[in-house]
Structure 1
Amino acid sequence: MIRLTAEHTQAGTSYIATGQGQPVVLIHGVGLNKEMWGGQVVGLSSQYRVIAYDMLGHGASPLPESGTPLLGYADQLRELLDHLQLPQATVIGFSMGGLVARAFALHYPERLRGLVVLNSVFNRSPEQRAGVIARTSQAAEHGPDANAEAALSRWFSREYQAANPAQIAALRQTLANNDPQGYLTTYELFATQDMYRADDLGCIHVPTLIATGELDPGSTPQMAMQLAERIPGATVAVLAEQRHMMPVESPRLVNQMLLAFLDNAYSEQNQIKGIVA
């Protein structure tokens, strides 16, 4: 990752920002932090202002109070945009970050320029819901790294794990270093909020991309398609042979997809502004 000095908002949110152009905000998944976006920071910052931050309870950001709702995580993003004096931004959320991005889109539509949901969850089956609830119980009893080995095997291909043992070990340590209560508060939302205000998703009227990996067992192509069906004009991308952590495992492939979406979304909006003017 480009070595950037992290800064903090008045509320304590830790973030990095680099690049010039239209703002793009990156939201990581549960148990991770802003460092997961190294490939995207490098790949997008030549054309966009890229901002990555630590979610509540993660990295160097404050802990959420126990029972903090999903809206509290959306409020954290709003406070970050206020701090940076950004009236709008395109928001890219990964996994749990996708739930936060969706909540932000519903609660603060005027602050959203575009929406990307990567490898996130929607309308879990009873079996999928039971599995994630069981993992929540294990995390509550044994701590944030209770499911680390199983998670890493779901997240990455075996080939990538074998070729990058140091990175896998660092991720395992990142999971273990999470504050137990902050992690659990966030994971409980991840486990239960996949249908958060699902009936209101039709109110999202910005360029939207829903993407996942063909081999992502927890954030399946079917979930991506069902979510996109709820959002007017949303497009779906399913990347062949990719698993959950495709932004980390295949950054060039993911960046190519993101840049194509961003370039198209901003050019379309500029054309609309020209017509209105």
Structure 2
Amino acid sequence: MELTEARKAPDGTRYWRQGQGAPVILIHGVGLDATMWQPQVDALAEYHAVIAYDMLGHGDSALPQVNAGLDDYADQLAALLDHLGLERVAVVGFSMGGLVARAFALRYPERLAAMVVLSSVFERDANQRAGVQQRLAQTREQGPAANVGEALKRWFSPAFRHAHPGRIAKVHEIVSNNHPQGYYRSYALFGTQDDFGAERLQTIRVPVLVATGELDPGSTPRMARALAERLPNAEVQILPGQRHMVPMEAHETVNAMLLRFLATVVTRDSFKEAL
């Protein structure tokens, strides 16, 4: 996923496309961009057409409107699929990307074949809500770099941070260099919309995998299990010993999990319209 290989959709969305087969969309987390998915693109592209893109307000995509909601982020994905000529896709959403995936599933059910919600949030408790509201206030006052140091401690294990200082520095740089307004508007949704569409989740009938790290303090195993219980066709996987940034820190485990899930629920027949 070299920057020189990035493409632009008509609405300004930056994306990468690699591989052939049934299409899989990767949606990153708040403050990050599509490049976080490099290990997953490399693994999944052997079997799938993999598309990773920058959400509104991130990377080199357009800023969200002042009053944007999760439906606007779902509309961005739908517009990208239109541009690529894809009718139905599997969607993998990480952290805030999991919220966008849920919004897409509710807004465009006919375009979804399967969904993975990875390290995402649902039904925060009072302490978790207070913590994210405090971080949101810091972000409003000081910009994207306000609390990235503490975030990295939550996202990665001490062992990984010690062993891979260059990779940690790169993530720090990506988050800190976000456009202040784009970051704040996105973070505000991430911080307040964990229960988005909760009363309609039972209408999402495609196969769903809900997964998170055992030690993830913000996207907890309790949240994963509670979300899966609301979905008619969901399974849960808790990754032992892992924190938040599992696509990077535990990429081999995550890749194997995704390939296993996709192999069981996605066939080329599921995407006849798109191939």
TM-score by length of 2: 0.96
Find out whether 1:11 has 2:4 as its counterpart.
no
Q: Which amino acid aligns with 1:15?
A: Y
User: Secondary structure of the residue that 2:82 maps to in structure 1?
Assistant: helix
* Amino acid corresponding to residue 189 of structure 1 in structure 2: L
Tell me which stretches of 4 or more aligned residues in structure 1 moved more than 6 Å. Answer: none
1:97-116 to structure 2, matched below 5 A, reads 97-116=97-116
Query: Bigger shift: 4-13 or 72-81?
Result: 4-13
* C-alpha distance in structure 1 between counterparts of 2:89 and 2:12, whole Å: 20
- Paired residue for 1:190? 190
Shift of 1:3: 6.8
Give the number of equivalent residue pairs: 271
- Paired residue type of 2:196: Y
Alignment CA distance shift 1:3-1:47 (3 Å)? farther
In structure 2, the residue corresponding to 1:262 is in which secondary structure? helix
Partners of 1:2 and 1:42 within 8 A in 2: no
Partner Cα separation in structure 1 for residue 7 and residue 189 of structure 2: 26
Offset of residue 266 of structure 1:
1.8
How far 1:4 moved relative to its partner? 6.3
Q: What do residues 66-120 of structure 1 show as CA deviations (whole Å, max 9, x unaligned)?
A: 1211110000000000000000100000000000000000000001011000000
What value does the CA root-mean-square deviation take over the aligned residues? 1.4
Query: 1:92·1:118 contact (CA, 8 Å) conserved in 2?
Result: yes
Map of 2:77 onto structure 1: 77
Partner of 1:125: 125
**TM-superposition CA deviations, 1:253-274 (whole Å, max 9, x none):** 000000000000025x959x9x
Structure 2 residue ranges without an equivalent (≥5): none
- Give the superposition deviation at 1:138: 0.3
**Post-superposition shift, 1:141?**
0.3
- The CA deviation string for residues 15-36 of structure 1, in whole angstroms up to 9 with x for no partner, is 0000000000000000000000
Whether the 8 Å contact between 1:2 and 1:41 is mirrored in structure 2 is no
Q: Which amino acid aligns with 2:136?
A: T
Structure 1 residue runs without a partner (length 5+): none
The aligned counterpart of 1:154 is: 154
Q: Percent of aligned positions with the same letter in both sequences?
A: 55
Shift of residue 156, structure 1, vs aligned partner: 0.3
- Please give the secondary structure, in 2, of the residue aligned with 1:39: helix
Scaled by the length of structure 1, what TM-score is found? Answer: 0.95
1:53 counterpart letter in structure 2: Y
Q: Distance in 2 between matches of 1:2 and 1:42?
A: 12
Give the residue type in structure 2 aligned to 1:225: R
Higher relative contact order (CA 8 A, sep 6+): 2
| Residue aligning to 2:136 | 136
Match of 1:207 in 2: 207
Which position in structure 2 is the counterpart of 1:29? Answer: 29
SS of 1:25's partner is: strand
CA distance in 1 between partners of 2:173 and 2:232 (Å): 40
